[in-house]
Structure formats: structure tokens, C-alpha cells
Structure 1
Amino acid sequence: MGKGLLIVDVQNDFTEGGALAVDGGDAAAEAITRLLAEHAADYRLIVASRDWHDADGDNGGHFSPDPDYVDSWPVHCVAGTPGAEYDPLLATDAITHHVKKGQGKPAYSMFEGTTDAGETVAQLLDAAGVTEVDVVGIATDYCVRATSLDAIAHGRHVRVLTGCVAGVAEDSSERALAELAHAGAELMDS
């Protein structure tokens, strides 16, 4: 019975000053870095995801000049740009696997992405014997929510470390956390 850490989308475009900045994004990056400094050895696997959208086209309708902020968004996290890179406040040396998601299409859960070698998150967790995951990152009400729900659907016990997340809005983040708790996730202050 092993434990893994899933770090969701702690990227420049989602932290303060980015194209889709989330208030508290930098603070979440710093909290995750502290978590890694103190507890990286507790995890068999540490997987970090990045939104990684194609530079050309609308990425399956994900990019829009007139976004609805539900299914369509302004241009963000374009592959190879500074906005798609990890926030510099996130220490990445303990990360064992990097996943890119959203290449040419919308993707919210890191389970929709792959490593450069083509491995999915579910495959990585299975190979490492990981049955429990801690989930942290950005944004609580979108990609953290989707990743956590997928982890539950893949049979993992999920803990959302609430001191290591940041959401787009307080109300929608509270609803997402309530939904996750109802689905079986543990909400833990970190």
C-alpha cells in the first residue's frame, strides 16, 4: 500500500501575473515546496501535471476570443512558452514524473495527460503500487477537482491537502471541496 502525490498545474499562467491568474497561486506553490522539503520521502511517486496547449488553432474549442470561462478560455499555457512552465516558487527536483495535458483539446484532469514516454497517470500509479494519493495544486474548482474525482474513479483513496491548493473563486472552490468530500475524498489541512 503506497502513497503518491499529484501536483496539478502549478504554472506561471495560473499564478499571479499569468494569463489566467489565480489569487493565491504563488502561495500554493510555496506551500507545495514546503511539503516536498518535509515529506517527499513519504511518497513512492510524485507526479506533476502541466496544461500544455498547442500554439495553433483553438485546441478543440478550449481557446476562444469570447470565452465563457466554463468550457472556453483565453489563450493560456501554450506549449514552449513561459506561461506553460512551472511557477518558479515550485521546487521540482523531487518530482518523479511530469505529465502534459490538453494538447490540442480541452483537458482538466491530469489523468487525461501523458508523460513524454506516453505513460498515463493511472499506469504510473499502478506500476508503483500506489493506492493512496494526496492532491495539491491549481485550481481547486477545476483541475484539482477533476483530477481528484478521476483518482477516486481509478480506485485510489484521495486526500486533498487544502493548504496547498488555490481556486478561481471562493464559492466554486468551496462547492468543489464539498463535492470531493461527498465523493469520498478526505480534506486535510496541510
Structure 2
Amino acid sequence: MARALFIIDVQNDFTEGGALGVDGGAAVAAGISEYLEANPDRYDLVFASRDWHDGTNDNGGHFAEGAPDFVDTWPVHCVAGTPGAEYHPALDTSDVDFHIQKGQGKPAYSIYEGTTEDGESVKDLVASHSVDTIDVVGIATDYCVRASALDALADGKRVRVLTDLVAGVAAASSVAALDELADAGVVVTES
């Protein structure tokens, strides 16, 4: 059996100064890099997801045509090939085994909704590598981290969210997301 780390959406547009910047995003990027450096043998596999949206359409209603509601519609962000879609520079991706792109032409919050550039699904990769335990870190606690952890749990994995290595859109919704995850059976703990 194998242990994996899911690094969720640590991208320029989701950190301070980005199109949907989250307070503490840059610190999360640096913290994940420090954590991996201090624990080089902890994970058998490391996955990193990125929103990788098509800039030529509204991505299935994900991009707001007018004012976004910040629940179902959002400002344009993480358009494939733009600086905003790139990993934050403080995130060292040298240990990443699989780069996952999600949200091409449709809303996608969970890493399980993405694929590698070769079209391999996360579910298939996790199964083929006998992953049974997954730690989840990244941005945003109350959206993509939440969705990814719930999908990993639904996939039958033991799941932890490392609270010192996540940042959320809002404090109240982040606390609610962590409570929901804990109630569902995810271990919510510090690294």
C-alpha cells in the first residue's frame, strides 16, 4: 500500500495579488515546500493539481458574465498558459510525480475531476499505484481542498487534511468545511 500527497491549486491566481487571491496562499506554497523538504520519504507519490481553464469560453458557466456571485460563478482565473495559472514560485514542484489539470471547459473543484496531460485520471493513477492513504494540502480549504478530500474519502481512501498547509477563501466557510470533513471521516490535523 502507498501514501500520496495531493497538493491542490497552489497557483498564482489563488495567492495574494492573483485574480482570486487567498490570504495566506503564498505562505501555504512556502510551507508545503518546507514540509516536503523536511519529509523526503513520507510519500510514495505526489500529485499537484491546477485549474487549467479554457480562456475562450465561460467554462460551463464557471466564469461570470457580469458580477460573480463567488459561489457558483467567479472572475476569469487560471486560464491555461497564463502566469495566473502557473504554480506559485514558492512551491517547489521537483517532487511532484503527477501534474493534474482540471476545469477545461467546465467547473471542476476536485483533483479527481482532472487528468494528466496524457489523459490519465487521478482515480486510475491512485488505483494503479495501490494508494490507500492520502494527505491533502493547498488552496482553497472551503472549495477545492474540501472537494478533493471528500472525493478521496468516497474513493475508499484514508484521508487527512493538514490544516497548517491550507488556506481558505473565508474564515467561516473554511471552518465549516473542516468541520464537514471531520464529520465525514477525514482526519483534520496539523502536519
TM range (shorter): over 0.9
Aligned to 1:158: 159
TM-score (norm 1): 0.99
Q: What's the CA shift for 1:132?
A: 0.3
CA distance in 2, matches of 1:166, 1:142: 10
Greater shift, 142-151 or 117-126, is seen at: 117-126
Aligned to 1:74: 75
Summarize deviations over 1:152-190 as a string: whole Å, max 9, x none.
Answer: 000000010001000000100000000000010001112
Is residue 39 from structure 1 mapped to residue 46 from structure 2 by the alignment?
no
2:76 alignment partner AA = V
Summarize deviations over 1:65-95 as a string: whole Å, max 9, x none.
Answer: 3211111000000000000000000000000
Question: Are the counterparts in 2 of residues 138 and 144 from structure 1 also a CA contact under 8 Å?
Answer: yes
Greater shift, 2-11 or 121-130, is seen at: 121-130
**Partner-residue secondary structure (3-state), 1:160:** strand
**Partner-residue secondary structure (3-state), 2:39:** helix
**Partner-residue secondary structure (3-state), 1:155:** coil
1:117-128 maps to which residues of 2 (within 5 A)? Answer: 117-128=118-129
TM-score (norm 2): 0.98
CA distance in 2, matches of 1:178, 1:40: 30
Q: What's the CA shift for 1:40?
A: 3.3
Residue segments in structure 1 that go unaligned for 5+ positions in a row: none
1:84-99 maps to which residues of 2 (within 5 A)? Answer: 84-99=85-100
Q: What's the CA shift for 1:105?
A: 0.4
CA distance in 1, matches of 2:104, 2:158: 28
Is residue 148 from structure 1 mapped to residue 134 from structure 2 by the alignment?
no
Is residue 6 from structure 1 mapped to residue 6 from structure 2 by the alignment?
yes
**Partner-residue secondary structure (3-state), 1:83:** helix
2:28 alignment partner AA = A
Runs of 4+ in 1 over 3 A off after TM superposition: none
CA distance in 2, matches of 1:134, 1:140: 13
Question: Are the counterparts in 2 of residues 45 and 125 from structure 1 also a CA contact under 8 Å?
Answer: no
Aligned to 2:27: 27
**Partner-residue secondary structure (3-state), 1:176:** helix
Question: Are the counterparts in 2 of residues 101 and 113 from structure 1 also a CA contact under 8 Å?
Answer: yes
Aligned to 1:63: 63
Q: Give the length in aligned residue pairs.
A: 190
**Partner-residue secondary structure (3-state), 1:133:** strand
Question: Are the counterparts in 2 of residues 151 and 158 from structure 1 also a CA contact under 8 Å?
Answer: yes
**Partner-residue secondary structure (3-state), 1:75:** coil
CA distance in 2, matches of 1:117, 1:19: 28
CA distance in 2, matches of 1:80, 1:48: 16
RMSD of aligned Cα (Å): 0.7
CA distance in 1, matches of 2:189, 2:35: 13
Question: Are the counterparts in 2 of residues 161 and 188 from structure 1 also a CA contact under 8 Å?
Answer: yes
Aligned to 2:186: 185
